[in-house]
Chain A
Amino acid sequence: MASLRNNSLLAVSSALLLAGFILLAPSLFAQAVNSCLDCHSALDGTLQVTPEKFSQDIHAQKGLTCVSCHGGDASNYDPDQAMSRKAGWKGKIDRKQVPQLCGSCHSNPAYMRQYNPSLRTDQLDQYHTSMHGKRLAAGDTKVAVCTDCHSVHDLRPAIDPRSPVNPVNVAKTCSRCHSDVAYMKPYGIPTDQFANYSISVHHDAMVVRGDLSAPTCTTCHGNHGALPPGVDKVQNVCANCHAFQAQMYGKSSHFKAFQEKGLPGCVVCHSNHAIHMPSDAMLGTGPTGVCMKCHAPGDHCDKARAAILTDLTQLDQSIKNADQSLRLAESAGMEVSEARLSQDQAQDSLTKARVTIHTFQTALVDADVQAGMKIAAANLKAGRDAMVERNHRRIGLGICLLAIAFMLVGLWLYIKKLES
């Protein structure tokens, strides 16, 4: 009886399993089918999209398919049916339609929230305000659309180092068009931005030092709303990172003068794309000097320039002298770590003075310099005192060794006397 019940149970469960398989099988196979990729992986040129390439795309990884953008029926192997208007096939997306198509999802906060709640959804609105967006609206299809910068069919998130919009790659991506002399000719804008940026301190920070917070094209120009910041607004852009300098410059006599003359603030002295590491030589009269490009030799400003330069040079030299003195003491094994630590304070004063230059007031710069000079002088003295102390120690040692030598001789003579 029991065995009969067991057999019945086995038969019922087998039947259920079989029925489940028959029901689910078509949907399982349907998911695996992608007739688009099967054909397009065999095509050449821009029509080629391989499953390997598409699998790298963030959209594919989130479950979107070719149909999501291009429409059609990916489950059908008949090309006429798969790519029929009846099946909603859109074909190759027209460049003019690209921003709108991307925006249909990316401008929808409710839709985007399910994938990445922190992702902004104003890209399309920003794009409309950009030079690229304005020109596209005016019918210029040469300008950049979403896919030009972000790539297509293998689109990776910006945090991926392989993405063309990863901070490290942005400048190169922009340069693909903006450094192309022939491509940019109709627009009459320079094409040396990338070459200049490549020799700048910002590029050095980003690419050489790997500091992803360093500025690249989009930091100053914006990304989706890309536009030059405007001559009178340059200092606002620089101020995002160089806050103190901008604050001081904003209150200086130069701010007013540059505005009156329509000069682009920070760019006048520091350039825009080819921003070099600032040095005290910028205050000099040599080839890297900037003051004398506007000011006349011997005028009030030239004298102020010379005074500031002298101040900075003196402090820099004092720090170096103290450093040398401390190094000498350290190499003699003397303990000067406190002075070594306060060397950082002297260096901070020098850095502060270099920032205060943006007030263009000699008295303020001098105050910072004098604070640093005081510390550097104390450190120099600490190093020299340590060397004097070292000499005292050696003299003390000499006296002790002499006393020990006398004791040894005395003991030896005493032993000899004792044993004779």
Chain B
Amino acid sequence: MFAFLYRWLDERLHLDELIAPFKHKTVPQHRLSYWYFFGGITLFLFMIQVLTGILLLLYYRPGANEAFESVQYIMTRVQFGWLIRSIHAWAANLMIFTAFVHMFSVLFLKAYRKPRELTWVTGVILLLLVMGFGFSGYLLPWNTLAFFATKVGTEMAGQVPIVGKAMMIFLRGGPEVTGATLTRFFGFHVAVLPGLVTVLIAMHLFFVQRQGMSVPPKIEAEWIENPSARREMKFFPNFMLRELMAWYVAMGVLGALAAFFPWNLSTKADPFISAPAGIKPEWYFLFMFQTLKMIPSKVWIIDGEVLGILGCSVAGLLWLLLPFFENEKSSRSKAWVTGISIFALVYVIGMTVYGFLAQ
């Protein structure tokens, strides 16, 4: 039946030609190959997000008077609503985590080097967009923590010199966080960001398929020295089946998290109460939040918060352009990039832990 259907489609669409490159595509096989799976796992979690997001859309109602109640309804009345929402929330966190792991693995395995600079650039933009997904989605249940986290987050955006104020008003849909902000964030979350992410994922995957998997320089050198040690596996089905195994593991982890720790709903947002004491953003923003907290209110003549926002923006831009700073022939530039990478990893982990522990 399947063979008949395939033949029927092939006659009309010439599928064989389309599939041919995949049949010949290979993946390097070495002791660090398992790092290749994290990109795929991130993609799998994104697909889960799309699927569970669509299901949540069937019941979710954006609006200050309805959002919280609709999520409460999903959690208590809709069959498996709790599972869908919990998986959506947990998968979002796991996706950001695996995206970070994927980024640092690319960094340490030197996979960003020429000719893969654009793959790195699209990947970093994707990470920022995914964090944007997290920020916009966090407000949608319209609970107390989400409300105040959005208030603080958009206030920070307002600190950007010159355009900050206008940007804050654009994000909030007015001078304050209100129902208008919720509607706006909903729009970003279900229309603007998915559109951008889909285009960028397509570009990212196209680059990966076109250029193949990068082999770490150390392994490459070993293979040049000993050509018989070079190993490769077919992308389809060998690598794909292994990736499928990783996806199954991710699915199991997601299910366990949703069953043991269903995502909390907390209490409905009340704009008239004061912010809960010690309010903190989600873990993936914590390193930036803690950095901004540690900067003194005034550094020389510059406002501390403005300096922090500017510093983070410049660091982000440099990070995006990181591959362009490494010169293929200069070992000094390579050492610099490696040093910065190690520093960035330690800094992000250290500040996140410090942010968790800080009062």
Contact = CB atoms under 8 A, between A and B. Distances in A.
A335 interface: yes
A394 B265 contact: no
A408 B237 CA distance: 15
A337 B262 CA distance: 14
B244 to A, nearest CB: 6
B44 to A, nearest CB: 14
A407 B248 contact: yes
B350 interface: no
Interface in B214-268: 233, 237-238, 241-242, 244-245, 248-249, 251-252, 255-256, 259-262, 264-265, 267
A97 to B, nearest CB: 53
Interface string A333-353: 111011000000000000000
Contacts of B76: 335, 338
A414 B241 contact: yes
Interface string B56-79: 000000000000000010011000
A335 B256 CA distance: 17
B233 to A, nearest CB: 8
Interface in A309-339: 333-335, 337-338
Interface of B: 72, 75-76, 82-83, 233, 237-238, 241-242, 244-245, 248-249, 251-252, 255-256, 259-262, 264-265, 267
A8 to B, nearest CB: 53
Most A-side CB within 10 Å, residue of B242, B249, B260: B260
A411 B255 contact: no
Contact of B259 (A335, A393, A405, A407): A393
A87 interface: no
A419 B242 CA distance: 12
B72 A400 contact: no
A412 B75 CA distance: 37
Given A404-B251, A411-B241, A394 B259 contact: yes
Interface in A377-406: 393-394, 396-397, 400-401, 404-405
B133 to A, nearest CB: 23
A401 B256 contact: yes
Contacts of B260: 333, 394, 397
A294 interface: no
Given A400-B255, A418-B238, A335 B262 contact: yes
A392 to B, nearest CB: 10
Classify the interface of chain B: helix, strand, loop or mixed: helix
Interface of A: 333-335, 337-338, 393-394, 396-397, 400-401, 404-405, 407-408, 411-412, 414-415, 418-419
A408 B252 CA distance: 11
A411 B252 CA distance: 15
Nearest to A392: B259
A411 B244 contact: yes
Given A335-B76, A415-B241, A419-B238, A401 B262 contact: no
B259 A396 contact: yes
Classify the interface of chain A: helix, strand, loop or mixed: helix
25 contacts: A333-B264, A334-B262, A335-B72, A335-B76, A337-B265, A393-B259, A394-B259, A394-B260, A397-B256, A397-B259, A400-B255, A401-B256, A404-B251, A404-B252, A405-B252, A408-B245, A408-B248, A411-B244, A411-B248, A412-B245, A415-B238, A418-B238, A418-B241, A419-B233, A419-B238
A150 B160 CA distance: 57
Contacts of B249: 404, 408
Contacts of A393: 83, 259
A393 B255 CA distance: 10
B242 A415 contact: yes
Contacts of B82: 335
Q: Which 3 A-B pairs have the closest CB atoms?
A: A397-B259, A335-B75, A333-B262
Nearest to A394: B259
Contacts of A400: 252, 255
A298 B178 CA distance: 64
Contacts of A394: 259-260
A401 B75 contact: no
Nearest to A338: B76
Contacts of A335: 72, 75-76, 82, 262, 265
Given A396-B259, A397-B255, 16 more contacts: A333-B264, A334-B262, A337-B265, A394-B259, A397-B256, A397-B259, A401-B256, A404-B248, A404-B249, A404-B255, A411-B248, A412-B245, A415-B238, A415-B242, A418-B237, A418-B238
Nearest to A412: B245
Nearest to B71: A335
A337 B72 contact: yes
Nearest to A407: B248
A335 B233 CA distance: 47
Contacts of A418: 237-238, 241
Contacts of B256: 397, 401
A400 B253 CA distance: 11
Contacts of A412: 245
A412 B248 CA distance: 12
A338 B264 CA distance: 14
A339 to B, nearest CB: 10
Nearest to A340: B267
Nearest to B85: A335
A411 B245 contact: yes
A407 B75 CA distance: 30
Contacts of B248: 404, 407-408, 411
B291 to A, nearest CB: 32
A396 B87 CA distance: 15
Contacts of A415: 238, 241-242
B252 A401 contact: yes
Contacts of A396: 259
A407 B233 CA distance: 21
A31 B104 CA distance: 80
A338 B76 CA distance: 9
B2 to A, nearest CB: 18
A168 to B, nearest CB: 25
A411 B248 CA distance: 10
A158 to B, nearest CB: 30
Contacts of B241: 411, 414-415, 418
Nearest to A414: B241
Nearest to A382: B76
